[in-house]
Amino acid sequence: MRIDIHGQHIDVTPALRDYVATRFERLARHFEQPFEIRTVLAVEKARQWAEATIILAGRRVHADADGRDVYAAIDVLADKLDRALLKHKEKRADHHRGESLARIGEHA
């Protein structure tokens, strides 16, 4: 998993980089293949937000979040990305592979 972090009107300190990396660690458990996360942290007057795009094999998952500070926005963003990856993973699974009467040879 590779994480690119950019800041708009904010300096991305090593502490912010470490915090983003620790919060996004749990996202790696959903997929075995490596993926890339592009993260933008931004501040405008009283509004502070974070947004991220996960690039999987041919797919993109995007989420953004506001917070009272950048750390709170990162927390909310990590939760949103976790739910979005779970949803993406469920869509990829073949739900029609269960046992049906036609597959087990019992016809009515």
Domains of the chain: 2-80 (3.30.160.100)
Are 41 and 12 contacting, i.e. CB atoms less than 8 angstroms apart? yes
Residue 14's pLDDT band (cuts 50, 70, 90): very high
pTM: 0.80
Distances (CA, A) of 17 to 7, 56, 57, 71: 11, 21, 25, 11
**Beta-carbon neighbour count of residue 31 at 10 Å?**
16
Q: What single-letter amino acid sits at 18? A: D
**Which tens digit of pLDDT belongs to each residue from 70-106?**
999 999 999 999 999 888 888 776 656 655 555 555 5
